[in-house]
Amino acid sequence: MEITDLLRRAHDGDADAFETLIPLVYDELKVLASKHLCREYSHESIQTTALVHEAFLRLAGSPLPECQNRSHFFSIAARVMRRVLVDLARSRHAVKRGGGIDVSAAGFTGLGAPHDEMFLALEEALERLTAQSPIKGQLIELRYFAGLSTEEAAETLSLPVYTARRELRLARAWLQHELT
């Protein structure tokens, strides 16, 4: 069965479609999570499986957004994984400051304050970029967090490839300026 068809059925509330979808995308989501974690934290910091499971729980816990295609689904999954990591970093930061809860029992162990602070700074900069230019924010998210190629990101956003390349260059320069 085609993933796009299952995504449409899951969006329409078909629980069986979501159950069928999980094994079809699970391995790819683990690869996506692993790439995501390699960029943000060391391998020992957080278990890829725990991140994928938390993302699935969040996706299953709310109505599945309408997905245009496979790439769009993986973009949504990457966004959910990023939110998991941001929530984790914020929780750890709050614990460090004397508030919040300790989430290390959920399999998210070993994250350090320097990594959390860098990750939160990147997240805040990305939020500012997205507020100024939603296309640039979406392109960064699709390219670097969802792992799509520039061409796939352009297709997902219905942009010409040359426009996507230009906007990505500008977005990277803006983020680099903000983070230095």
Q: Quick: pLDDT tens for 123-173.
A: 889 999 999 999 999 899 888 777 788 998 898 888 999 999 999 999 999
Domains: count for the chain: 1
Can you give the pTM of this predicted structure? Answer: 0.68
Average pLDDT, the chain: 78
Among 4-8, 89-93, 130-134, the range with the most confident prediction by mean pLDDT is 130-134
Please list, in sequence order, all residues whose beta carbon lies within 8 angstroms of the beta carbon of residue 103, skipping any fewer than 6 positions away.
88, 91, 92
Question: For the CA atoms of 163, 165, 171, 173, what is the dihedral angle to 10 degrees?
Answer: -130
pLDDT at position 101 is 39
pLDDT at position 93 is 66
Return the residue matching tokens 């040359």.
162
Residue of 98, 140, 147, 92 whose CA lies nearest to 118: 92
Domain that holds residue 141: 3-179
- What is the rounded distance in angstroms from the CA atom of residue 29 to the CA atom of residue 51? 9
12-21, 94-103, 131-140, 147-156: least confidently modelled range: 94-103
Query: What is the tally of helices (H) and strands (E) in the chain?
Result: 8, 0
pLDDT at position 99 is 47
pLDDT at position 166 is 97
- What is the rounded distance in angstroms from the CA atom of residue 168 to the CA atom of residue 151? 11
